[in-house]
Copies of this chain bind each other. A is one copy, B any other.
């Protein structure tokens, strides 16, 4: 059983995650985790904060000399500007006034959070509801990616749409192509489309506006048989959708060709089955690598749609929760678009879901044992 909890506020001392159930014997490359954190901070259209704060992961428990021990792993990502916020945010002792938020921002948890948890200072809501939390999940996801990599599983993401500009759908991109996403300013693989996206970002910046979009996560090297069709809550498509929809600003999740499949006749919506050289294969991957909620050996493909970041440079209409008078929502520094970075978050979350599913299927407490179990299963597939 692999599970994890995260904690931390946007302007608190730091973010924390405890990962329980990581097997022993996994090499943890801290540079790789920090590299993943830096990927989350990239992207044309990011705000100032991202440039100031280079995130770094600290591993506090569960790893010894760079190798996991099987014990729970604690990861922390500090907030670099905490010293400026300490007097407003400290956990114990009196806090100073001056940073209260009483005008809820539309599109955020502010108002419902205040009502639900009985807060009159909405900072108590927004500090936790902030997308800042995804930093520590990217660090946790980097551990999951290191784990999956030991079994030849590789995870990529790229941007399909920013605002109204969308690439023609590039299904079946080769791995070599996907590797290049990080070289591109918006992590979009089509340079011509990307240049139009950049113009949209620039225009949005001028207008004090923000942009949503769509990213895609593609996973290579998955064995067939992850996930379970026998009970709805063990189907991998559901598990992935549940985790991905919880990404801040996510409003849509698709598996494989997704919504486009609603549009075409049944006989064109499936991936027919062939056999050659001792293995079953498909020539197409409309299903995105999942049939019946179980991996079928084709690349896993998921798409996530994001609404524009609701924090606006130009304020939105709202109401002061104390006075009940109309008042524009507070303007906070903001990214123009978070879609390129959200793709990196999507990779991390996909990795965490896959790691859980992988460990459920293969069991084992240390890497050598899991590798033997995995290899045996691969042999049974060949012999099937």
**In the assembly, how many copies of this chain are there?**
4
Q: Is the CB of B119 within 8 A of A273?
A: no
Query: A92–B59 Cα gap in the complex (Å)?
Result: 8
**Are A305 and B369 CB-contacts (below 8 A) given A91-B61, A118-B380?**
no
B residues less than 8 Å from A366 (CB atoms): 116-118
Q: Which of A147-155, A191-199, A254-262 contacts B (4 or more CB under 8 A)?
A: A254-262
Inter-chain CA distance A15–B213, complex, in Å, is 41
In the complex, which residues 129-152 of chain A have their Cβ closer than 8 Å to any Cβ of chain B? 129, 133, 137
Min CB gap A282→B, angstroms: 8
Would you give the 0/1 interface string for A1-23, flagging 1 where the beta carbon is closer than 8 Å to chain B? 10111111100111111101001
Chain A interface residue count, Cβ-Cβ cutoff 8 angstroms = 166
| B109–A270 CB distance below 8 A | no
* A346-384 near B? 1/0 per residue, CB < 8 Å: 000000000000011111111111001100110011001
Q: Does A64 contact B (CB under 8 A)?
A: yes
Smallest CB gap from A73: residue in B? B7
Given that A62-B7, A89-B64, A112-B296 are contacting pairs, would A376 and B372 also be in contact in the complex, using a CB cutoff of 8 Å? Answer: yes
Residues of B within 8 A of A125 (CB): 69, 229, 292
Distance A127 CA – B267 CA, assembled complex (angstroms): 22
Are the C-beta atoms of A111 and B265 separated by less than 8 Å?
A: no
* A14–B254 touching, CB < 8 Å: no
Given contacts A225-B112, A243-B242, A265-B211, contact A60 B7 (CB under 8 A): yes
Chain B residue numbers with a CB within 8 Å of A255 are 245, 251-252
* A1, A273, A314: most-surrounded residue (chain B CB, <10 A): A273
Asked if residues A210 and B265 are in contact (CB atoms below 8 Å), the reply is: yes
Contact with B along A158-171 (1 / 0, CB 8 A): 00010110000000
- Give A233's nearest chain B residue, CB to CB: B246
- Closest CB-CB distance, A331 to chain B, in whole Å? 12
Once A69-B127, A113-B292, A310-B266 are accepted as A-B contacts, the answer to whether A238 and B234 lie under 8 Å apart by CB is: no
Do the beta carbons of B292 and A72 come within 8 Å of each other?
no
Q: Which residues of B contact A113 (CB under 8 A)?
A: 229, 292, 294
Give CA–CA (A294, B294) in the complex, Å. Answer: 30
Q: Please pick, from B65, B238, B381, the residue contacting A115 in the complex, using a CB distance under 8 A.
A: B381
CB distance from A161 to the nearest CB of B (A): 6
- A47 contacts the other chain (Cβ, under 8 Å)? no
**Could you list 19 examples of A-B contacts with CB < 8 Å?**
A4-B5, A6-B18, A23-B117, A28-B92, A72-B231, A113-B229, A125-B292, A129-B292, A163-B265, A210-B265, A211-B266, A212-B261, A212-B262, A212-B266, A241-B246, A266-B307, A272-B316, A364-B373, A369-B377
A-B pairs, top 3 by smallest CB distance, nearest first, are A242-B242, A109-B292, A363-B363
